[in-house]
Amino acid sequence: MSSTPRIKRLPRFAETNFASLCAKAGVLCHQSQEDENGWDYLVEFPDNEVSGSPDTRPPAKRAFVQVKSTQGKRLTCSIKLSNARKAAQSPDPWFVVLTVERNNRPRTYVIHIWKDLIASFLRSVRQAHIDNTPEHRKRLSLTFTEADYHSDDPVEWMRSEIERVGSEYGEEKRKISKTAGYEDGFGTGSMIVEVESIEQLHNEFLGLGNGLSVSRFTYTPRRFGILDPKPQIDISKGTIHVTPDPIGDCELRLRNVRTGALATLPGKIFAHSFPGPLNPERRVRFSAPGLEIKWATGSEEHFTFTLDFTTALDFVSLEDFIKIITWLQKDSVALQIWANGRRVITAEANPNGPHVDCSEHLKIVGTLRSLSPAHRSDCRISLAAVSASSNLLFLHQVVSSPNIRIEYEPAPDTNYDYDTMIYYSVAEVGSLTAYALVERSLVGAISSIEGNRHRADFGPPVIREGWVAASISQEQRALMVEDYTRRAKEMDKFCKLIELGNILEFCRTGKGAQSREPRASLPRSDAPLNAPPQQA
């Protein structure tokens, strides 16, 4: 009985054997002509039979293969680190085929370079870089198991592995190679901050601070738990700002204890505490537009209630905000905070601080709301802006006042005969522009007062056109005058009209009228409203 002869040139046999297996499976197999490529064979699989036009078919699958060989019972081989990096970073499939001579017979094992191996290869690449070791001088050991045995179907198994990943194989592999090793973060940072109190730290982590002074900050990239040899960022002075994420939603319900009136505000919940069981201090922030409530728990429990008058709100929300301010100045306010369908906090705020009349602010916002849809997201304004704008106060007065009186001295030999007046008013606050086209009818007769002065009273306003818009164009500005001019021409056909044009400019200069109108004496527009208090 004769024995099977030993394979004398095993490395060469392994390559020709793999090429034969490819031919047997009906796939193309191209051998590398350069030793620097990192692969021995490029395998091209035939197209799958799919319906439809050929131009819509996906490209044929292909894979790069390294062929290794060994003798005996050891199921291991080694590859250069430079080749391992190419296999891990390439978007194409890579496989390692190991031919093992055992009892003078070849056995074929195949490994797919996928998730765990990609991460292992890249970790070794990073460590070699840290150690300043050239990649081509370092080799990695690959261990196979009997589960990797594929003597009968190595090529078909490779195809099935590629199809198992799916049509987005390249994208999936890129994702693995880019994200592997960052499971615990992208680096390590260290900083020294300067604070005046623990409360300042709480405020910063709640999003209520103005930034922490940093006297030293370093950041060192880390991947696979391996730090860079030196920091990527190393600064000795700066400011760090904390932007926290809310832990949930809430609803703030404020009720005037005296009148029973209710206002509700949607809000967000933020929380902060220092780690450790021995530190019971905890801070919770309930944040609604223009309103901040901080709840301190621990050794002492208390609430801090803060109003921000610079927060821009839609007109309905701003009306509610002004109502809350008014309540807090003269009445007790019951507060409830609800989250996840249950009440989590109940408290009561008592009147605090000097009384400031906000009734005029409320009326101004009401006028804006009457000119525009209340909840338009682009029409937002703060209470501080309302308070500071004298032009907005003037627009409110000439649009909403129930009557207007004009006094004038007639020009010599001029007959003023009219029964209706028309004008428009414009106010700009920040990016917002408010516009109203108004008509008023004469009430009673034109009367004479001291000297040669005359007086005329006009009744309730009729708003023919009105809007509030953000960041208007020059074309829209021109429409304000065009609308006024067109309406004046229409009215001139059936009434005796006095045309004041832009009433603010008319009151300031006495000019701009179309029919020798007198100079009007109207409410002043050069004085801002009393500013509301900045904190309650």
C-alpha–C-alpha distance, residues 408 and 295, integer Å: 61
Q: Note the pLDDT of residue 357.
A: 78
Q: Note the pLDDT of residue 92.
A: 95
Scan for tokens 């917002």, then name that residue.
432
Q: At residue 2, does pLDDT exceed 60?
A: no
Average pLDDT score over residue span 242-246: 94
Q: At residue 51, does pLDDT exceed 80?
A: no
b vs e for 444-471, b when ≥16 Cβ sit within 10 Å of the residue's Cβ? eebeeeeeeebbbebeebeebebbbbee
359-371 vs 315-330: helix crossing angle, rounded to 10 = 170
Q: Which of 34-48, 199-213, 473-487 is predicted least confidently?
A: 34-48
Q: At residue 471, does pLDDT exceed 70?
A: yes
Give the total residue count for the chain: 536
Average pLDDT score over residue span 383-391: 92
Q: At residue 276, does pLDDT exceed 90?
A: no
Q: Note the pLDDT of residue 374.
A: 56
In order of their start, the domains of the chain are: 10-48+56-179 (3.40.1350.10), 187-240 (no CATH), 248-355 (no CATH), 362-509 (no CATH)
Q: At residue 46, does pLDDT exceed 90?
A: no
pLDDT digits (tens, 9 = 90+) for 110-168: 999 999 999 999 999 999 999 999 998 999 999 999 999 998 899 999 999 999 999 89
Q: Where are the beta strands (DSSP E) in 471-520?
A: 497-502
Nearest one of 153, 144, 154 to 74, comparing CA atoms: 144
Rounded to two decimals, what is the model's pTM?
Answer: 0.62
pLDDT over 90 percentage in the chain:
60
In single-letter form, the type of residue at position 169 comes to Y
104/319: higher pLDDT: 319
Q: At residue 529, does pLDDT exceed 50?
A: no
Which pLDDT band holds residue 50 (cuts at 50, 70, 90)? low
Helical H segments across 331-430, by residue range: 359-371, 383-388, 390-400
